């Protein structure tokens, strides 16, 4: 199955259902089920922003499954939608108005028991269970 590696704390925000868009500079035509892999990389500034949530942030493992149902351009319309939904969760994309890229829209997000795995760039394959 396809996997995407995401830095912490963002991987956990996805696994908890708090973040339903994952942002990339590249677009994809892929639609379907994916695993969310919490990479070993950590955004320290963002970790401080979310520490009040009291969540755990595992690294180097698959922590969720989701359906990638759309890939949309990050434009002013999407930014307004994200601002209304949760300005804290989408802080990075909202406070980088010149950033251009794509939002991968995730649905049916489900936490899973962590599965140790090494991450990779872009989408990568993990054997189906």
- Asked whether residue 48 is assigned to any structural domain, the reply reads yes
Q: What are the tens digits of pLDDT across the range 76-117? A: 999 999 999 988 899 888 888 788 899 999 999 999 999 999
Domain CATH code at residue 84 = 2.30.130.30
Domain that holds residue 41: 2-119
Instruction: For 23-79, write each residue's pLDDT tens digit.
Output: 999 999 999 999 999 999 899 999 999 999 999 999 999 999 999 999 999 999 999
pLDDT value, residue 120: 85
**125 within some domain:** no
Establish if 29 belongs to a structural domain. Answer: yes
Q: How many domains does the chain have?
A: 1
DSSP codes, 26-75: S-----EEEEEEEEEEE-HHHHHHHGGG------SEEEEEEEEEEEEE--
Whether residue 128 is contained in a domain is answered as: no
The pLDDT of residue 47: 93
- Whether residue 128 is predicted with pLDDT greater than 80 in this model: the reply is no
27 φ, ψ to 5°? -100, 165
Prediction pTM value: 0.92
């Amino acid at each position: 199955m396809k996997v995407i590696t995401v830095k912490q704390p963002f991987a956990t925000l996805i696994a908890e259902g708090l973040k339903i868009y994952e942002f990339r500079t590249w677009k994809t035509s892929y639609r379907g089920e994916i695993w969310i892999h919490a990479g070993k990389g950590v955004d320290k500034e963002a970790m401080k922003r979310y520490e009040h949530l009291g969540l755990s942030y595992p690294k180097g493992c698959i922590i969720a499954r989701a359906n990638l149902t759309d890939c949309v351009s990050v434009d002013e319309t999407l930014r307004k939608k994200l601002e209304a939904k949760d300005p804290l969760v989408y802080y990075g994309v909202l406070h980088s108005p010149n950033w251009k890229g794509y939002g991968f829209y995730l649905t049916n997000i489900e936490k899973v028991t962590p599965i140790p795995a090494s991450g990779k760039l872009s989408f990568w394959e993990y054997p189906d269970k």
